[in-house]
Amino acid sequence: MTSSGPGEKVRSLHDAYTSGDPNVTSAVYDAWSGEYETHMSGVGYTHPAMVAAIFARYQPAGDAPILDAGAGTGLMGVLLPALGYGEIDGFDASPGMLALAAEKGIYRDLKLGLLGERLDYRDDSYGGATASGVFTEGHAPLDGLDELVRIVRPGGHIAISVARIYLGAQIEAKARQLEDAGKWRPAGTSNLYDSTPLDAEAIPAQVHAFEVLR
């Protein structure tokens, strides 16, 4: 496959962030999947490492299995076993991205799923969950967190990266809503960081971790 140039990379990022339609976003990622990791490496993509670091700070490695929400090509899946998480399942809205994740041989189970809709998992079926690069423009709504809370067992942790429009007031309001309902409590938050530090456009982000209560 011939590698596309910087202009194509920028167009892919722009399309993924601005579509506003989950079906369009899924199609963008399907078309992008073959070069996704090359492109993201080129912009110094930091979400997976940041989410893994914060998740490992709070989630004991022996609490299995772990759910990788919005698994993509498996960039989080590569990191989690190195940190002691041996049983990992994942879902994503893009069949093309999931096919590449499956080739890594890391995940116990992979399936199609979309944050913001009912997910095909039983209540309390996971010890913890991660979501890297999912909560940003054109991607998952913050209401998708309700499903992760349902799926993760009490005492487990959810670590998510939050970028751009969800920073500040939006994530704070959603976190408070779930805290007031007795669903979770904040565990910790990273400092602000740039999720694409090698790209000309800075994308400010944070990672938030929560402990599920219910």
The model's pLDDT over 68-109, given as tens digits with 9 standing for 90+, comes to 999 999 999 999 999 999 999 999 999 999 999 999 999 999
- Which of 193, 211, 210 shows the shortest CA–CA distance to 45? 193
Question: What is the arithmetic mean of pLDDT over 131-155?
Answer: 91
pLDDT of residue 20: 58
- pLDDT > 80? residue 138: no
Structural domains for the chain = 47-212 (3.40.50.150)
Chain mean pLDDT for the chain:
89
Query: What tokens does 204 get?
Result: 């400010």
pLDDT of residue 58: 97
Q: How far is CA 13 from CA 53, 77, 106, 147, in A?
A: 24, 21, 26, 26
Per-residue pLDDT tens for 157-207? 999 999 988 999 999 999 999 999 999 999 999 999 999 999 988 999 999
| Confidence tier at 18 by pLDDT (50, 70, 90) | low
Per-residue pLDDT tens for 25-60? 767 777 777 788 998 999 999 999 999 999 999 999
Specify which residues 204 forms β-bridges with: 194
The torsion region of residue 38 among left (phi > 0), alpha (psi -120 to 50) and beta comes to alpha
Specify which residues 109 forms β-bridges with: 89
pLDDT of residue 15: 57
pLDDT of residue 185: 98
Contact 132, 73 (CB under 8 A): no
Contact 138, 16 (CB under 8 A): yes
pLDDT of residue 136: 81
Contact 115, 134 (CB under 8 A): yes
| Confidence tier at 3 by pLDDT (50, 70, 90) | very low
- Which of 97, 119, 106 shows the shortest CA–CA distance to 65? 106
Query: What tokens does 174 get?
Result: 């959603």
In the chain, the percentage of residues whose pLDDT exceeds 70 is 87
pLDDT of residue 181: 98
| Confidence tier at 5 by pLDDT (50, 70, 90) | very low
